[in-house]
Amino acid sequence: MAKVSELGYLGIGVSDLAGWKRLATTVFGMQVVSGDTPGTAYLRIDQNHHRVELNSRDSDDLDFAGWEVEDAGELSAIARQLELAGVKVRAGSRDDAAQRRVVDLIKCVDPSGIATEIFYGHPVDPRPYQPSRAGSGFKTAGQGLGHLLVHSPDIDASVGFYRDILGFRVSDFTTVSTPNGPLRLAFLHCNSRHHSIAFIGAPGPKRLNHIMFESNALMDVGIGRDACLAHDIPIAIDLGCHMNDQMVSFYMGCPSGFALEYGWGARVIDDATWRVEHYDSVDSIWGHPQLKTLATGDAPA
């Protein structure tokens, strides 16, 4: 079975491009790379040309997610797997590939409505990554951009799509009792990162609940938190350590109304020994005092 290897890139529609650039540089120390048009900008966090494409439009939500496969053979095999499962697949155009700066890509839509791209040939820029503030950089090697938590109207369909068609493995399921009945979450991995995508089975104001970027050092996360306080960027969920991936992190609001998680130190998965885990709460090991808001499906930002 062909498998996705990592979360390569994300596209986000933003109504406040200047606000996004300010947050990305002040809090995360990311490099802003000029886009192909005035309404576009790229965020760079490693050797890739970019990991996030910001496009000026009022959607203020996830526009597309790009998942990497090894080579042309894997791309064809993934396309076949999707078609066999009844998913409509389109070939990316030359223009699409040029804009994403990849060799080739295919396009489909996941069960929660995310425009999903599968590509090979990740966009390397050999010039050094130039962070906007000194730091230890981001943990992306072999693990991809970070992770997404997405609101899914049909969590079983979402899990089936990523696990049975794209080759992800389940890290854990979480079931929480709430006054409105059981709330389910699912966390899936495609490499040693504990999860690259997760689903919350409750509607949200946005498709996207949050995006997580992982730092190589706890110090950078603390400096980023100080930057939020200094620049009046709301801290949606303050520092804590998650139960499942054991990441130390905090969440901030972003100009598009979802949240960004800045984390460090997550445990990694070895598929040779991993067994699916189950949790009956989203409580953190310590901290994350506002996490209950996330569990109810409300926007944490």
Cβ of residue 210: shortest distance to Fe ion, in angstroms?
6
Least distance CB 174 / Fe ion (angstroms): 12
107 or 210: CB nearest Fe ion: 210
Q: Considering the complex, what minimum distance in angstroms separates the CB of residue 263 from Fe ion?
A: 7
Q: Which is nearer to Fe ion, 92 or 240 (CB)?
A: 240
- Does 261 sit near Fe ion (CB under 5 A)? yes
- The encoded tokens of residue 272 equal 């040779």
Closest CB 162 distance from Fe ion, rounded Å: 16
Q: Does 172 bind Fe ion (CB under 5 A)?
A: no
- Of 212 and 227, the one with the shorter C-beta distance to Fe ion is 212
Element (H, E) at 249: strand 248-253
Of positions 54, 82, 200, 212, contacts Fe ion by CB under 5 A = 212
Q: Does 214 bind Fe ion (CB under 5 A)?
A: no
Question: How many CB atoms neighbour CB 287 within 10 A?
Answer: 16
The per-residue DSSP string of 126-190 comes to -SPP--SS----B--TTT-S-EEEEE-S-HHHHHHIIIIIS--EEEEEEEEEETTEEEEEEEEES
The H-or-E segment that residue 90 falls in is strand 90-91
Residues 6+ apart with CB under 8 A from 134: 29
Q: For Fe ion, what does the binding mask look like between residues 218 and 257, x meaning CB under 5 A?
A: ----------------------------------------
Binding residues for Fe ion (CB under 5 A): 212, 261
